[in-house]
């Protein structure tokens, strides 16, 4: 161990170390290729090599700068852990070995084996996580949730997987200091400290050096997903607009209004108001999220026109909505493409018509929306095509994936002649959380 002098100098070094880690993360994320590789969960060999080329040179340079006297540049352990946690076992093992080579050349013989082991263990942790999205939940203040996570684990058996890398990072840093103490600091570098009371602060700084880059990169990832969602939302709105505003639709709607004027003027006025509500909703500012209440109001307006066109005997709509779900925020234009598909492809071809049922409920913090129709149904071959390439369904599915990652489910079950059932499950978002995203 190399002495740093005063306690103030040690504290200053730890602060600079965390700042260097955050600055390096902010610099790297500006590169498009780095973002593309980092945010791709499934990487081929070339992408893994590219990830190594982005991260290991600056980390290795930091080790060189530490050797010449700038202690805060050394991110050997957090850098190796970060490589394994984001890149997997191979990236962690190779990256840890490569970034520690300058230390090995400085006769710190344990540095390279330890860094390689840290990267490998971080990769094993990543592989063991059932949901890779939990990696991005490793934030700089995650340790404040330790009591809450322990309570949930003891009471409900729910494990916060983000706590696993947090604990592993702390244990590995502590192990590094124990190992350095055992060899008297000759073959392994660590920051010198006045006494063991400083070790928890040093461990916290190491955890922050891992958590800060993940937080910065996750914020960028969320912004990119929201931007892509806005593009898909715009496409969905334009598809819906062109669908509802095409001459055929307007002709049928206005023809219905002209017929109603003769024997039911009040209903004709209502249809015109419903049509204006649809146009106003489609042309106004594009929100990312809206309350479920607003989404259902839009569906009601759309269906009222369709019922006026087809007649109540041929098109019936039933809602079983849990009142507690009405203020839950959902992606804008989530239901309209599904309802439109059900009418156009499921119910319209049937001479006797049919019905659509919509149910909502919340279970264990998740909003479930079921949309069932008793229309023509879809064959198994065609269902696969619609799920992946259908204009309405695939757009909804892709937007859900961008907004929720692996936290959503969208299941479609259909049989020819029996109708179609669609179930959507998403995390329940309250207004306090979602209002910042709108």
Q: What is the pLDDT of residues 68-116, one digit of tens each?
A: 988 889 999 999 999 999 988 999 999 999 999 999 998 889 999 999 9
Q: Are 392 and 333 in contact (CB under 8 A)?
A: no
Q: Give yes or no: residues 181 and 51 share one domain.
A: yes
Please indicate, yes or no, whether residues 203 and 322 belong to a single structural domain of this protein. Answer: no
Which strands make up the sheet holding 409-415, listed edge to edge? Answer: 315-321, 354-363, 366-373, 419-427, 409-415
> Is residue 240, in this structure, part of any structural domain at all?
no
* CATH number of the domain enclosing 372: 3.30.565.10
- Residue 308 dihedral angles phi and psi, to the nearest 5°: -65, -35
- For the chain, what is the domain count? 2
Q: What's the Cα-to-Cα distance from 167 to each of 285, 308, 323, 377, rounded to whole Å?
A: 44, 61, 41, 51
The verdict on 32 and 180 lying in the same domain is yes
d(CA 26, CA 15): 17
CA distance 234 to 21: 37
Q: Please give the structure tokens belonging to residue 379.
A: 């064959």
**Cβ-proximal residues to 41 (8 Å cutoff; 6+ apart), any chain:** 132
Beta bridge partners of 218: none
For each of the chain's 438 residues, which pLDDT tens digit applies?
A: 444 456 788 888 899 999 999 999 999 999 988 988 888 878 888 889 999 999 999 999 999 999 998 888 999 999 999 999 998 899 999 999 999 999 999 888 999 999 999 999 999 998 888 877 788 888 787 777 777 878 777 787 777 778 888 889 999 999 998 898 888 778 988 887 777 888 889 999 999 999 999 999 988 888 888 777 777 766 665 555 445 444 555 666 677 778 778 777 888 888 888 878 777 776 665 567 889 998 898 888 878 877 777 777 778 889 999 998 998 999 887 888 888 888 877 887 776 778 899 999 998 889 999 999 988 888 777 776 666 655 567 778 878 887 887 889 999 888 888 889 999 999 887 543 444 444
pLDDT digits (tens, 9 = 90+) for 206-219: 999 999 999 999 88
CA torsion angle 239 243 246 250 (round to 10): -140
- Note down the domain range covering 74: 7-221
Asked whether residue 428 is domain-assigned, the answer is: yes
Contact in structure between 142 and 163 (CB atoms under 8 Å): yes
pLDDT of residue 242: 47
Select from 221, 239, 262 the last residue of a domain: 221
Residues 174 and 303 in one domain: no
In a domain, 103, yes or no: yes
Do 173 and 294 lie in a common domain?
Answer: no
Per-residue confidence (pLDDT) for residue 290, from 0 to 100: 86
Residue 387: the pLDDT is 62
Same-domain status, 316 and 168 = no
Same domain, 211 and 316: no
Full-model pTM: 0.59
Position 270 in a domain: no
pLDDT at residue number 236 = 64
Of the candidates 221, 237, 271, which is a domain's last residue? 221
Q: Is residue 254 part of a domain?
A: no
Residue 232 lies in a domain: no
Same domain, 191 and 330: no
pLDDT recorded at residue 93: 93
Distances (CA, A) of 225 to 190, 232, 289, 400, 404: 39, 10, 14, 10, 9
Which of these three, 194, 221, 248, is where a domain ends?
221
Same domain for 148 and 66: yes
Tell me if 218 sits within 8 A of 35, measured CB to CB: no
Whether 22 and 121 share a structural domain: yes
Residues 51 and 187 in one domain: yes
Residue 101 is predicted with a pLDDT of 92
The stretches of 1-44 forming alpha helices (DSSP H) are 7-28, 32-38
Give domain status of residue 242, yes or no. Answer: no
Judge whether 296 lies within some domain: yes
Residues 194 and 317 occupy one common structural domain = no
């Amino acid at each position: 161990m190399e002495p740093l002098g005063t306690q103030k100098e040690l504290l200053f070094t730890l602060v600079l170390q965390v700042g260097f880690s955050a600055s390096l993360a902010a610099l790297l994320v500006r590169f498009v290729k780095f973002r593309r590789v980092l945010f791709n969960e499934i990487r081929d060999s070339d992408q893994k090599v590219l990830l190594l080329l982005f991260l290991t040179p600056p980390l290795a340079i930091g080790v060189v700068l530490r050797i010449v006297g700038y202690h805060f540049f050394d991110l050997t352990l957090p850098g190796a852990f970060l490589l394994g946690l984001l890149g997997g076992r191979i990236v962690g093992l190779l990256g840890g070995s490569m970034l520690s080579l300058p230390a090995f050349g400085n006769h710190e013989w344990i540095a390279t084996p330890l860094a390689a082991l840290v990267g490998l263990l971080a990769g094993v942790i990543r592989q063991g996580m059932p949901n890779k999205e939990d990696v991005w939940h490793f934030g700089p203040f995650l340790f404040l949730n330790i009591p809450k996570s322990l309570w949930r684990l003891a009471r409900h058996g729910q494990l916060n997987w983000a706590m696993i890398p947090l604990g592993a990072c702390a244990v590995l840093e502590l192990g590094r200091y124990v190992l350095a103490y055992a060899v008297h600091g000759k073959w392994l570098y660590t920051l010198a400290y006045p006494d063991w009371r400083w070790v928890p602060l040093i461990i916290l700084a190491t955890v922050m050096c891992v958590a800060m880059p993940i937080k910065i990169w996750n914020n960028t990832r969320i912004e990119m997903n929201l931007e892509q969602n806005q593009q898909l939302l715009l496409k969905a709105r334009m598809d819906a607009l062109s669908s509802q505003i095409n001459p055929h639709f307007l002709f049928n709607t206005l023809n219905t209004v002209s017929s109603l004027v003769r024997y039911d003027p009040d209903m004709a006025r209502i249809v015109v108001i419903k049509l204006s509500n649809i146009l106003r909703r489609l042309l106004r500012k594009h929100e990312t999220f809206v309350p479920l209440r607003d989404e259902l109001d839009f569906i009601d307006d759309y269906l009222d026109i369709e019922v006026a066109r087809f007649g109540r005997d041929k098109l019936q709509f039933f809602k079983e909505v849990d009142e507690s779900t009405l203020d839950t925020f959902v992606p804008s234009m989530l239901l309209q493409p599904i309802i439109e598909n059900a009418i156009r492809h499921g119910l319209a071809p049937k001479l006797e018509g049919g019905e659509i049922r919509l149910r909502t409920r919340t279970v264990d913090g998740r909003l479930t929306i079921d949309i069932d129709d008793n229309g023509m149904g879809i064959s198994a071959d065609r269902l696969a095509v619609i799920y992946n390439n259908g204009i309405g369904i695939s757009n909804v599915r892709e937007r859900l994936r961008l907004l929720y990652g692996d936290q959503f489910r969208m299941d479609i079950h259909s049989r020819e002649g029996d109708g179609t059932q669609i179930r959507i499950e998403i995390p329940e978002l309250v207004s306090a959380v979602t209002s910042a995203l709108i």
